[in-house]
Amino acid sequence: MTLDEATRRLADAGIDNPRAEARLLLAHVLDISRDQTLTAHPTTEQAQNFAGFVVRRTAHEPFAYITGCKEFWSLAFEVGPGVLVPRPDTETLIEEALRVAPDRAAPLKIADLGTGSGAILIAALKEFPNAKGIGFESSPQAFRYASANATRLIGDRAQIRLADWASAEGPFDLIFSNPPYIASAEVESLMPDVADFEPRAALDGGPDGLAAYRDLGEILPKLLASGGHVLLEIGLAQAQSMAALFPGLEMPRIAPDLSGVPRCVILRKP
């Protein structure tokens, strides 16, 4: 399959930026840069692999599942079926953590509730080299990805537990969570790349999208050390609902992502 044919097939399937995606898929198959794809000469086996990847992408399988990798905070994370693909918007949580905890050398104790691929926890530990952290993940598939990523990227400073976040025991200085926050009725209307492939348990936040935050509101005051901070990702139009969900914790602000959308709730224990 040629690049031109791959581009046409991706375009016909409604894939955004089909030429760029075709070149990136070919680059992955050949283990070369995207710039080199215009003059590349794949072997017969490589061309077959490329064609298979294009077929998978025309079915809207997430690009990151096909390549098995997604970049987050300039780190390469292994991902695949059963784990949520890390998004650039989620990097807002790391940016805000660096603001609320400016001492990079502090020996912090960090938790990530619903760690998924481990992206948030591992990125945070990269920024705080004397910190240690625990990621809690109830999905066996996601747990395997998080464990592999932690071992490869951060070593024994990260402990990944196959456990619900209700089993967590504090105190923690920093707590992260990117919980499911899409209203149940809206999940099916998401892009097919998401709705048809990514784990529903990581997306579906109950009838109003706030079920996970209510659960977190019950446990966070017990898990957080005095003076510690929680950083939570939220969805569109959810900012106004947050203040009532976390009694006993201060809410200094809600930080926007790069698009200006309120994305990260910052909570503090007095």
CB 155 within 8 A of CB 210: no
Does residue 182 register a pLDDT over 90? Answer: yes
Q: Which long-range contacts (CB under 8 A, 24 or more apart) does 152-155 make?
A: 152/78, 153/75, 153/77, 153/122, 153/126, 154/122, 154/125, 154/126
Does residue 195 register a pLDDT over 90? Answer: yes
Residues 38 and 124 in one domain: no
Residues 116 and 12 in one domain: no
- CATH number of the structural domain spanning residue 189: 3.40.50.150
Which residues span the domain enclosing 25? 3-59
Query: pTM value?
Result: 0.94
Within-domain flag for 65: no
| 207-225: pLDDT as tens digits | 999 999 999 999 999 999 9
What whole-number distance in Å separates Cα of residue 233 and Cα of residue 231? 7
Instruction: Provide the domain count of the chain.
Output: 2
Q: What is the distance between the terminal CA atoms of the chain, rounded to a whole angstrom?
A: 61
pLDDT band at 93 (very low <50, low <70, confident <90, very high): very high
Within-domain flag for 23: yes
| 104-150: pLDDT as tens digits | 999 999 999 999 999 999 999 999 999 999 999 999 999 999 999 99
| 222-249: pLDDT as tens digits | 999 999 999 999 999 899 999 899 998 9
pLDDT for residue 1: 86
Average pLDDT over residues 199-206: 97
CB 228 within 8 A of CB 172: yes
Residues 54 and 81 in one domain: no
Strand duo 250-256 + 262-268: pairing = antiparallel
CB 153 within 8 A of CB 75: yes
Residues 209 and 254 in one domain: yes
Average pLDDT over residues 191-209: 96
| 26-84: pLDDT as tens digits | 999 999 999 899 888 899 999 999 999 999 999 999 999 999 999 999 999 999 999 99
Core vs surface per residue 168-192: b (16+ CB within 10 A) or e: bebebbbbbbbbbbbbbeebeeeee
Residues 148 and 177 in one domain: yes
Within-domain flag for 64: no
Residues 125 and 253 in one domain: yes
pLDDT for residue 185: 95
pLDDT for residue 3: 92
Residues 117 and 53 in one domain: no
Exposed/middle/buried for 64, CB within 10 Å: 0-12, 13-18, 19+?
buried
* DSSP per-residue letters across 83-112: SPPP-GGGHHHHHHHHHH---TT---EEEE
